Structure 1
């Protein structure tokens, strides 16, 4: 990668693999960084800690709710119970009010309570470097070694069970951000499905 300009979105997987190849190893890390690996797993004997970090940059609507739920989902995908959450909240100078910060914290608290998760720390900051609120969440979960789903047994030809629709999260975000424009093109029934 000679070009210093990257497109918007995730970094190129080949470039990431190059970066990962130079990282040090720890024998207790069962699942470390890698393409398609959404959380790390650390061996603590009979139990494992599952750790996930994910930023919410695509929307400011329901920011706290999305941060908790997206991180919790990635923990649960490895068979672990999400238990502890840390949140870093970066706020723009313009448009930040006590009411906005309280609303975001209420979203985090409500989402944590609904899932039995404790908010255990984080960081808040008003900075000129962002134009809208951004939250980076870190979720920590735990699972017994026997119940860990680390993906190492997945092979070509395995069946996939889809329990809900595809792109539910993305569809909801698009609705939150562009509902007025969508009203011009979609029925009320379809808009209701997008919203919920």
Structure 2
């Protein structure tokens, strides 16, 4: 019998969800205290510790080369917060290429400390190694957090009839990475130094952290589910939300905010912002009666948010409404940034 997977070649980016689902379908018996295990669309694992729930998350930084230590803390903390928890402890595995200057390791450690201090996180361990065959430094992190059992939030908890709220705008992270990594290409495509500099600052303003947004939303008591759009962009995050909750989704494209800098970069490099890595935005679902309370609470802290759609029955699929016309949501084989840097 031919192994079909042996002939299926994987491209840079996330493992396709159909493959991931099949690999996760037979992991053996579940330990009694595991409340939430691995599943497509779920951002973290939940383990019961009596009066508290341990929340665990792992994520690598593979596209960026600038500030990767800072990135690693931020993106892992985001997923703990999107699960209703408080990020507290971080372990990192840092892999460096042969002959890399020792100053690179020093700088990454400084970045880890900077980001951890910003969020009140303690660095509790990890591993460092100089590894053959690497073109650039790679860091993979594991973040641990905790929440009261009643405060945890699953991606799979979205219900038919819920409204979908989006904070900030899409592709914030992708905008910043490309501005920092591809300045020469952007200048050649006609962008100005000032435009690129503004886009590069998106790491900090509007910023890629959703820890505060998730905390504020959860505090209202109206959240049914949350999901942190990262690799795969908004389109990928909506697909994961629908898969996890076994629902459909309807999105009003006019309500999805895209920053001018993001539009300019995507136009210059022929990218679609809906499929571009999107840390900095947070998807929240809520019963319609609770959406305004969430949006108002976020606005009080200077975080823009709006209702962009609703959760529907699974047979209705994932659709978008644009100028009164309903069409399927765009799909992407891989993140647009992976496509860009694999060319």
If the TM-score is normalised by the length of the shorter chain, which range does it land in?
A: over 0.9
Structure 2 equivalent of residue 82 of structure 1: 87
The count of aligned residue pairs is 195
Choose from 33, 43, 53 the match for 1:28. Answer: 33
Choose from 169, 172, 177 the match for 1:168. Answer: 172
Structure 2 alignment gaps of length 5 or more = 202-343
In 2, distance between residues paired with 1:43 and 1:103? 36
In 2, distance between residues paired with 1:85 and 1:33? 19
In 2, distance between residues paired with 1:46 and 1:74? 21
- How far does the alpha carbon of each residue in 1:25-55 deviate from its partner, in whole angstroms, 9 at most, with x for none? 1232122111111111111122111101111
Structure 1 alignment gaps of length 5 or more = none
Displacement of 1:189 in angstroms is: 5.3
Whether 1:156 aligns to 2:160 is yes
Would you tell me which structure has more helix in proportion to its own residues? 2
In 1, distance between residues paired with 2:136 and 2:159? 41
In 1, distance between residues paired with 2:44 and 2:70? 19
In 2, distance between residues paired with 1:4 and 1:182? 34
Moved over 6 A (4+): none
Structure 2 equivalent of residue 100 of structure 1: 104
Structure 2 equivalent of residue 51 of structure 1: 56
Choose from 130, 155, 158 the match for 1:126. Answer: 130
| Partner SS for 2:19 | helix
In 2, distance between residues paired with 1:31 and 1:189? 46
Displacement of 1:9 in angstroms is: 1.4
- How far does the alpha carbon of each residue in 1:35-92 deviate from its partner, in whole angstroms, 9 at most, with x for none? 1111111111221111011111111111101000000001100110000000100000
Structure 1 equivalent of residue 191 of structure 2: 186
| Aligned residues: CA RMSD | 1.5
Select the structure of larger CA radius of gyration. 2
TM-score w.r.t. the length of structure 1 is: 0.93
Task: Pick closer, same or farther for the CA change 1:19–1:194 going to 2, 3 Å.
Answer: same
Structure 1 equivalent of residue 143 of structure 2: 139
Whether 1:42 aligns to 2:20 is no
| Partner SS for 1:146 | helix
In 1, distance between residues paired with 2:147 and 2:22? 30
In 1, distance between residues paired with 2:38 and 2:55? 12
In 1, distance between residues paired with 2:85 and 2:162? 22
TM-score w.r.t. the length of structure 2 is: 0.54
In 1, distance between residues paired with 2:154 and 2:132? 40
